[in-house]
Structure 1
Amino acid sequence: MRKVSDLRVPKSYKEAMASEHRHLWSDSMQREFYGLLEAGTFTPAKMLAALACELNLDLCHFDVEQAFVRSELEEDVYMRLPQGCGALSGMIVKLGKSLYGLRQASRQWHAMLKRCLVALGFEQCMADACVFRLIEDGCVVLILVVHVDDIFAVGERERCDKFGADLNKSVPVKNLGELRWYSGCFYERNKETGRLTISQQTFTDELAAEYGVVGGRSVPMSSGVKLSDFDADEVATEFPFRELVGSLMWLATQTRPDIANAVRAVARYCASPKLVHWNAAMDILGYARRTSHFGISFQRGTVEGFSLQGYADADFASKAADRRSVSGGIVTCGGGAVSWFSRTQKCVTLSTTEAEYVALGDVVKEILFLRQIWRFMLPQVGMPCIPVFEDNQGAIQLAQNPISNSNSKHIDVRHHFLRELVERKEISVIHVPSPYQRADFLTKSLPKDAFESHRDFVMNLA
């Protein structure tokens, strides 16, 4: 009988598919791809960047050295020492501390870091365990976002430096000064003009060079491309399609909402990609290379200031093979997008109005999460009614009125939670003409002019 310890992780997709456990690896791959799409953006860092930009606060970066080996283990863990340990090589030893590679290593490290921060007076956000704040004299003086061993701090520079020195007494911390690189993204700031841009130009250029791409089109996917138009008997492409899509997902969820819909569309074919899907993915990469300097920008002194606004749209799947619509949503703050998504809806809708209503609920759920973080960052500031812009009058009527008729009575009650929010005036659903529905480019491919109009607004490129 084959032992669990005999199983090894394949180094490539080809190796995984050649394994006798290929069905397990294929299932895991699909769950990971769709998990990435569902997880979406790492919102707290963008929220803090928008806050720092609006209030003209400093952005400081700290790195904990050898983080995982600092934490204690709750279980007894034994390991065989590898070759190179002299006379001890091959011996079984009990670990006294955590170790990189252990499944519980990251959890144990986060628990230890939390204890250190709480000892310094910080409070942890209940909505997101990676966000902390420090209150002194009734005011929030420091806000932190933790990403493994990287700490992103917002506050006055002197207070940030003092925090670094205090934390260094518990764990070795390196003060990297002004934030430049964080979680693979480059932060470029001009304090005089009050503008901050988050981009991934280096990653995009290196990815394009890896696949031999030097330029591309003016849109990530042409509106005439039909990904479902292929021969079912065609052999799956040998090109590294899944690796490319995974890299494009990283861009789409971090700083490039303009390619989110196109990446979502091609990611659906990861199980058995054909040549048409590979060409579409390469077109996305070509567009990303052509616009690699683009990123999400925040601007101090915008009309909406540091307040949340939402946009919700849907593309009714009248021609989709599985009859499922696509939801697109954006939440902006400080002039730029802090959260966005483009995803296939989990339920089959029977009309455009129903599809738009489901998309509206998806955006409001994201807003509720962001609102908790917003209140955690600014407890002394009242939260105004949050506007959500929708271009479908039927969906707006469903949200504002407890009506039930033959066209809407079948809609699942879980989508009606936003009616209560509208009634309590926590959310206001506002009609916007379709040409100004900024989430439109997250649901379908658009002509160049319409696409660029939405892209420039959402990413604050003007």
Structure 2
Amino acid sequence: MKSFKLFKRISHGILSIVYYPRDVKPIGCKWVYSVKLNSDGSLNRYKARLVALGNKQEYGIDCDETFAPVAKMTPVRMVISIAASSGWSLHQMDVKNAFLHGDLIEDIYIIHPQGLFSSSNGVCKLKRSLYGLKQEPRAWYEKFLSTLLEFSFTQSQYDSSLFIHRTSAGIVLLLLYVDDMVITGSDHTSIQRLKQQLQASFHMKDLGNLHYFLGLEVHSTSKGIFLHQHKYAADLIYMAGLQLVNLVDTSLAVNVKYHRDGGDLCMIRYCIGNLWLVSQFMHSPRHLHLAAVRRIILYLKETTQCGLFFPVGIYPKLSAYNDADWAGCPDTQRSVTGWCMFLGTSLISWKSKKQARVSKSSTESEYRAMSPACSEIIWLRGLLAELGFPQTEPTSLYADNISDIHFVVNPVFHERTKHIEVDCHSICDTYDDKLISLPHVSTQFQVADILNKAVPRSRHQFLVSKLMLLDQPHQFEGDVNKGIILLSLIVYISISRID
């Protein structure tokens, strides 16, 4: 069986048998066996693959460039949101043995699998990339990029894994994540032609309409597109062994601060790497941190059926909410930044991150939080313009601190802001260029509040509803209309309160 597979690769032009070169040190190889599962956990197929031992490669000799860009989650959600609002269909394709298509620049030799050839002088010279090589992702990406450029696609300036093709009938978009790709657009004829061209160039598998991508389960309805991670949450709950434990209403206990050295050491580290809040304590986990992990997983169990909904017919206008929890870290006294971005009413991007500096006031902490939010807005505006949805008006960045708004609007900085890093003051240039506006929003309606602090149950449920985090698809019709009206009403009330 192994011999057959290897000779099959030879016949496909992957490698050839040559005599042992004296001036070259070949690297090893081995067979790897794995099981591929479907999105629901059922068996898809068994896989066997010959891989090179890339850990023996030396940079500058056996390999050079190794990095290959992949699709980021924010552009993925943006493309799905635009497809939902515009009524575009989403298609998915998969490349079979993608890394075997890459062209190698270097001369790579591997030792043949043991027992396959009787001659000790025989080695295998790779004609194309092989799994296990350090440069395999780069070689495949360069091959795919050159192929799409031949198909008259252009590469996005804002995301290297996004490719765009404009025709007289519309537009075609392709997102690439290693060997998985999502295709959508308004020109259905060009989409079908692209599929045929890809199948003629590579060994492709047409998976039909998009259902599962990067851990996201996708369900399309007449009302829009629903994204969730039921399987991921179920696997996390099963791994933690909490299937039969009572549920909780919120992910974090109110008025509880998690210290680095709080409580006794705990040797169990399961699940912590999946959760941002407690992943910062992985080097020395305590029982209190384990209790926090347990509560978060129980909350996931309560909300397993929830997901993000992208409705039909909503114009993709970008808006954002920004907030900070002043001195939120009890160990370092650093603040926690939180912001979220909406495209229409669809949540496409969010961030919760500890700031790099200690802020002397809540005003300073929220002013620092504006800087990364502005950078994200500039990036998203450029991406939307490439996709054919330019933002003609300034993007609303809702803030609940009036002092911060005055700092940005007033060109003369006050005495207490001169110590803030220069890069934070780029917010003023963004405001002067009319890329953002800074409407004031009441703290009661600040959506980003949920990203940087624990809140009571009633407020937690209120903020979740504003994020368009909905339940099962059969509840869409009522929940979507209620969510859209609620979000619009909150923005209207907040802006009306500005003096």
Alignment of 1:48-63 (within 5 A): 48-63=79-94
Q: What code does the residue aligned with 1:324 have?
A: R
1:123 to 133, 151, 154: 154
Contact 1:298-1:460 within 8 A present in 2 as well: no
- Kept in 1: contact 2:378–2:435 (CA 8 A): no
Structure 1 contact 332–339 (Cα < 8 Å) conserved: yes
Consecutive unaligned residues of structure 1, counting only runs of 5 or more, are 6-38, 249-262
CA 1:389/1:189 → structure 2, altered by over 3 Å: closer, same or farther? same
Aligned partners of 2:308 and 2:347 also within 8 Å: yes
Superposition pairs of residues 140-219 of structure 1, within 5 angstroms:
140-156=170-186, 157-190=188-221, 192-193=222-223, 195-214=224-243, 215=245, 216-219=247-250
d(CA) in 1 for partners of 2:301 and 2:123?
Answer: 50
- CA–CA distance in structure 2, aligned partners of residues 383 and 267 of structure 1: 40
C-alpha deviation, 1:140, in angstroms:
4.3
Mapping for residues 360-371 of structure 1, pairs under 5 Å: 360-371=370-381
**Alignment deviations for residues 364-383 of structure 1 (CA, whole Å, 9 cap, x no partner):** 1111111121111116x453
1:403 aligns with 2:407: no
Shift of the 89–442 alpha-carbon distance from structure 1 to 2, 3 Å rule, reads farther
Q: 1:459 to 1:77 in 2, by over 3 A?
A: farther
Aligned partners of 1:110, 1:360: CA distance in 2, in Å?
35
> SS in structure 1 opposite 2:81?
helix
Q: CA deviation at 1:62?
A: 0.8
Spell out the pairing of 1:3-402 with structure 2 (5 A cutoff): 42-83=73-114, 85-87=116-118, 92-137=123-168, 140-156=170-186, 157-190=188-221, 192-193=222-223, 195-214=224-243, 215=245, 216-228=247-259, 230-231=261-262, 234=264, 236-241=265-270, 244-246=271-273, 248=274, 263-302=275-314, 305-317=315-327, 320-378=330-388, 381=390, 383-402=392-411
Q: Distance in 2 between matches of 1:413 and 1:46?
A: 32
What is the rounded CA distance, in whole Å, between the counterparts of 1:358 and 1:88 in structure 2?
Answer: 67
2:391 & 2:332 partners in 1: Cα distance? 44
**Superimposed CA distance per residue, residues 105-155 of structure 1 (whole angstroms, 9 cap, x where no aligned partner):** 111111111111110010000111000110112x64201111111110112
Task: Return the offset for 1:199.
Answer: 0.7
Return the TM-score normalized by structure 2: 0.76
Give the CA deviation at 1:385: 1.4
Report the Cα distance in structure 2 between the residues aligned to 1:231 and 1:144, rounded to whole angstroms: 48
Flag the 1:90–1:264 CA change in 2: closer, same or farther, 3 A: farther
* Count of residue pairs brought into register by the alignment: 400
CA distance in 2, matches of 1:84, 1:287: 54
Higher mean C-alpha deviation, range 437-446 or range 401-410: 401-410
Q: Partner letter of residue 185 of structure 1?
A: L
What whole-Å deviation, never above 9, does each CA across 1:175-217 have from its counterpart, x for those lacking one? 1111001111100110x22x21111101211221122112531
Identical positions, percent: 28
Paired AA for residue 203 in structure 2: P
Q: Supply the distance in 2 between the matched residues of 1:384 and 1:84 (Cα, whole angstroms).
A: 69
Secondary structure, aligned partner of 2:393: coil
* Contact map agreement 2:262 2:288 (CA 8 A) in 1: no
> What is the distance in 2 between the residues matched to 1:98 and 1:383?
46
Indicate conservation of the 8 Å contact 2:260/2:281, yes or no: no
Matched residues in 2 for 1:372 and 1:410: separation? 31
8 Å CA contact 2:71–2:159 kept in 1: the answer is no
Q: Indicate yes or no: 2:467 matched with 1:437.
A: no
Q: Is the 8 A contact 1:61 1:152 kept in 2?
A: yes
Residue type matched to 1:200 in 2?
Answer: Q
Q: Tell me the alpha carbon deviations over residues 236-262 of structure 1, each in whole angstroms, 9 at most, x when there is no partner.
A: 322133xx123x3xxxxxxxxxxxxxx
CA contact under 8 A between 2:218 and 2:228: conserved in structure 1? yes
Residue identity in the other structure for 1:153: I
Specify the structure having the higher radius of gyration (Cα): 2
> How far apart, CA to CA, are the structure 2 residues paired with 1:326 and 1:49?
29
Which shifted more, 413-422 or 314-323? 314-323
Measured after TM superposition, the shift of residue 412 of structure 1 is 1.1
Hey, what's the Cα distance between the residues in 2 that align with 1:150 and 1:338?
Answer: 20
Structure 1 residues 114 and 449: alpha-carbon distance in aligned structure 2, compared to 1, 3 A threshold: same
Judge conservation of contact 2:408–2:427 (CA < 8 Å) in 1. yes
Distance 1:128 1:58 in 2: 22
**Which blocks of at least 5 consecutive residues in structure 2 are unaligned?**
1-26, 28-69, 471-478, 480-499
**1:346 Cα deviation after fit:** 1.2
